[in-house]
């Protein structure tokens, strides 16, 4: 059986060194914003009452499954990790920052300081320095929202402002496809 790819919208702090000091307190603050709802497992929540105000779906008839069913959207707090992790989508084709050509990766890159050589202009750079075009994030902490296809939805300005207010950090996002 082929495992169906799982799609996520992932939020992360742009300061790769930052992570919440107290994960339980941060989870509670997120719950109070209405982004997250019921806790299923430690760090895994259903979408909360304000989810659709905070995540803006761009299509005209998006398939949104909220609630408590097995296939419903979940929000997972992933981390904090001891060191920043580079998370890249399985379908990522990052661009070389020297010649702007897309780079075909032979394998998923797991390390930020892995060296990638551009076949077009021969420039070598660290994986983290490539232009991932919203298909990778580098952080110690991620908020992963399942069932969001690439470019299907974006975090609202209100959510990004709330996260900045709660953490003192600016946040960005990318689309992650697993498998
Ligand atoms: Zn190049």
Please give the pLDDT value at position 61: 78
In this model, does residue 3 exceed pLDDT 80?
A: no
In this model, does residue 2 exceed pLDDT 60?
A: no
Please give the pLDDT value at position 91: 86
The phi and psi torsions of 91 (rounded to 5 degrees) equal: -105, 20
Task: Tell me how far apart the alpha carbons of residues 85 and 139 are, in angstroms, rounded to a whole number.
Answer: 6
The residues near 58 (Cβ < 8 Å, ≥ 6 apart) are: 151, 152, 153, 154
Please give the pLDDT value at position 105: 85
* C-alpha of residue 150 to centroid of ligand 1, in Å: 25
Average pLDDT over residues 120-139: 96
In this model, does residue 101 exceed pLDDT 70?
A: yes
* C-alpha of residue 99 to centroid of ligand 1, in Å: 4
Please give the pLDDT value at position 69: 86
What value does the mean pLDDT of the chain take? 93
* C-alpha of residue 47 to centroid of ligand 1, in Å: 41
């Amino acid at each position: 059986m082929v495992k169906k790819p799982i799609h996520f919208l992932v939020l992360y702090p742009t300061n790769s060194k930052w992570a919440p000091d107290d994960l339980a307190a941060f989870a509670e603050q997120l719950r109070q914003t209405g982004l997250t709802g019921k806790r299923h497992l430690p760090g895994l929540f259903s979408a909360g009452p304000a989810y659709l105000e905070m995540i803006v779906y761009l299509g005209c008839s998006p398939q949104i499954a909220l609630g408590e069913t097995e296939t419903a959207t979940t929000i997972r707090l992933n981390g904090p990790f001891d060191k920043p992790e580079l998370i890249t989508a399985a379908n990522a084709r990052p661009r070389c920052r020297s010649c702007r050509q897309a780079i075909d990766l032979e394998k998923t890159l797991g390390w930020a300081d892995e060296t990638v050589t551009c076949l077009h202009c021969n420039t070598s750079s660290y994986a983290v320095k490539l232009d991932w075009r919203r298909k990778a994030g580098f952080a110690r902490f991620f908020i992963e929202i399942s069932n969001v296809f690439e470019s299907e939805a974006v975090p609202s300005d209100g959510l990004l402002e709330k996260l900045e207010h709660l953490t003192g950090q600016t946040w960005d996002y990318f689309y992650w496809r697993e498998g």
